[in-house]
A and B are shown apart, each in its own frame.
Chain A
């Protein structure tokens, strides 16, 4: 039986978000919260594994009390245990403090119910886009990490080996890893399942276990929240679109001329 841990985050729905051009800060007012889309992939993959190999899914999240709704959503993916890390002392955490807070909670859970075989994180959160928390937790747990996992191939439960595809700048890497391993999940790894009715009903009423800075995990206070976060945001700005495309109007230019022009352009850039 697989023991899977999924770490998720509730984020503002960035498809609706706007940036105040004067201050460079996000206008968060009235923006609905959603579960980070890459974390939905992680949950979907966990659900797939549980349904095909059997297992237990534990889901944790760190955030304000309202993050409970993301944990409830996790129940629709078959989560068996949901845990909310919430405390004012956790607030303002950068990726360093966040990975510390999460890793300590995971260590506590492992001491309580045995080690996990798989740790699933989203590739990155769409509000911060750092992609640092998954690897940060892996280091603290001293487990190998595969980032940007885009495809699952095989899982040998006896040999405890998983084979996945990882997207890199140079193409796709096909990797095998011995369990336990931490994966950060990217588009293509798994599709959200059509949840069964009983789980929908269960999710509405599901109440997460609450972990705070005071317990049950023993935290070093100075490593939490804003205090434990060395990152300083100097400036936030909207990147300007620098490269302008070239538009040729086909109604005024003959097609052949356009094609020739495109070939010339590609040649001049060294692409052809």
Chain B
């Protein structure tokens, strides 16, 4: 039997793990990726938008690949602001229609896996990593649930010079590696619930005003989440659409709603339900999203170990980034590992270069921004209740101003704003958001 020893073992076949694997395979490093699901992507879930630039870093010929994981390019993007009384759409046609595309994880992740396999990455699906092999503090490999031979009750030890943890949000191994300062709480994660809905033929294009080859990515704010902090989303796929909600687990726990009740409520929202008429649910799923940001950031390296993607918590909910951050972190980890092999040193002395790279990148800068935003924005109930209502009411007044003195209409609008939030309140909110962003 061939000896089971690898230069690198990667735990988890999502975009972070696969990006690291692809980077290593390109450099000729013997890496093994272990995935728990039946195939890469089988157990994974996301809203549905991927950014072309990040994928091109891995697959230069993208998007000219066959079979393509692209559902639709995102040609139109924006917000729906929903109040109980109505809907304001704020959409823009994108300058570059190829900048982003929609996808499903089952197809996107397995596309990356196929690409990685061709480059020489070894992939073992249907296998669970039980624990890390350790020598003191140094990580020396992994232990998997499967035996070496039929009937052998013992799990298999797989030694490696470096272990890359790309296990996702639950970060069991990250904890076993001793890299976590504090466990995450309900306020550190969002729960995303999502349905893939098949519409009658032609309905998707007709209802959203799209032509073939055009796609839409919309975030929904307001009454869609019953005014809880969080957003809804609609992304169009080739023949169906992804619809879902993302909410902080802590808010959800405090509210009277169960996630599926909220999703049902959102789908039946009087100003959205026409969109889903006669739709058939093909899939539904739920997943946690790490939003612990800087405070919950684990140590990203140790002796013989690196942490990438969701396990690290590299997600920016405001700008819908997660998959691309996973990809970039996977590539950075890969580059650091290549360096480690050149030096022949797998200790934290070399591996800390990964964290340094991350700190210099936009990813880390954004985590800082996000920390401030989270404090002021995500906890600001006005954003999810008062402002959506105010916006709709104001616009509604403005567009029904015919046949009345316009000064009176304006006065009414000002009165409305004063009553709902007050100018000082608005200025205060703006300053807070401004401070966080600049």
Contact = CB atoms under 8 A, between A and B. Distances in A.
Interface of A: 30, 47, 51, 78, 193-198, 200-201, 204-205
B148 A204 contact: no
Contacts of B150: 47, 51, 78, 193-196
A200 B149 contact: no
Contacts of A198: 1-2, 4, 148-149
B282 A195 contact: no
Interface in B120-156: 122-127, 144, 146-152, 156
12 contacts: A30-B282, A47-B150, A194-B146, A194-B150, A196-B156, A197-B124, A197-B158, A198-B1, A200-B127, A200-B146, A204-B117, A204-B125
B123 A204 contact: yes
Nearest to A204: B123
A77 to B, nearest CB: 9
Given A51-B150, A193-B150, A200 B4 contact: no
A248 B151 CA distance: 50
A205 B147 CA distance: 19
B122 A201 contact: yes
A196 B148 CA distance: 5
Interface string B94-132: 000000000000000000000001000011111100000
Nearest to B126: A200
A196 B127 contact: no
Contacts of A78: 150
A200 B117 CA distance: 14
A30 B123 CA distance: 25
B127 A197 contact: yes
Contact of B117 (A47, A196, A205): A205
B144 A197 contact: yes
Given A194-B147, A197-B4, 13 more contacts: A51-B150, A51-B151, A195-B146, A195-B150, A196-B148, A197-B144, A197-B156, A198-B2, A200-B124, A201-B32, A201-B124, A204-B122, A204-B123
Which of B126, B127, B158 gathers the greatest number of chain A CB atoms within 10 Å? B126
Interface of B is mostly: loop
Contacts of B151: 51
Contacts of B147: 194, 196-197
B282 A197 contact: no
Interface string B24-65: 000000001000000000000000000000000000000000
A204 B147 CA distance: 17
A30 B144 CA distance: 33
Which 5 pairs of residues, A with B, have the shortest CB-CB distance? A197-B146, A197-B156, A51-B150, A200-B124, A196-B149
A182 B436 CA distance: 73
A205 B114 CA distance: 10
B320 to A, nearest CB: 26
B293 to A, nearest CB: 36
A183 to B, nearest CB: 21
Nearest to A51: B150
A201 B123 CA distance: 7
B198 to A, nearest CB: 8
Contacts of A205: 117
Nearest to A69: B39
B66 to A, nearest CB: 14
Interface in B274-288: 282
A196 B152 contact: yes
A4 B4 CA distance: 29
Nearest to B106: A32
A59 B76 CA distance: 50
A196 to B, nearest CB: 5
B5 to A, nearest CB: 12
B153 to A, nearest CB: 10
A201 to B, nearest CB: 5
Contacts of A200: 124-127, 146
Nearest to B144: A197
Contacts of B117: 204-205
Contacts of A196: 146-150, 152, 156
Nearest to A202: B2
A200 B282 CA distance: 30
A47 B150 CA distance: 9
B377 to A, nearest CB: 39
Nearest to A76: B126
A194 B145 CA distance: 10
A263 B32 CA distance: 64
B149 A204 contact: no
Contacts of B1: 198
A196 B282 CA distance: 34
A99 B375 CA distance: 69
Nearest to A77: B150
Contacts of B149: 196, 198
A82 B283 CA distance: 34
A78 B150 CA distance: 9
Contacts of A47: 150
Nearest to A198: B1
Which of B4, B123, B124, B158 gathers the greatest number of chain A CB atoms within 10 Å? B124
B395 to A, nearest CB: 40
A193 B152 CA distance: 11
Contacts of A194: 146-147, 150
A194 B1 CA distance: 18
A202 to B, nearest CB: 9
A155 B271 CA distance: 69
B4 to A, nearest CB: 7
Given A197-B156, A198-B1, A204 B124 contact: yes
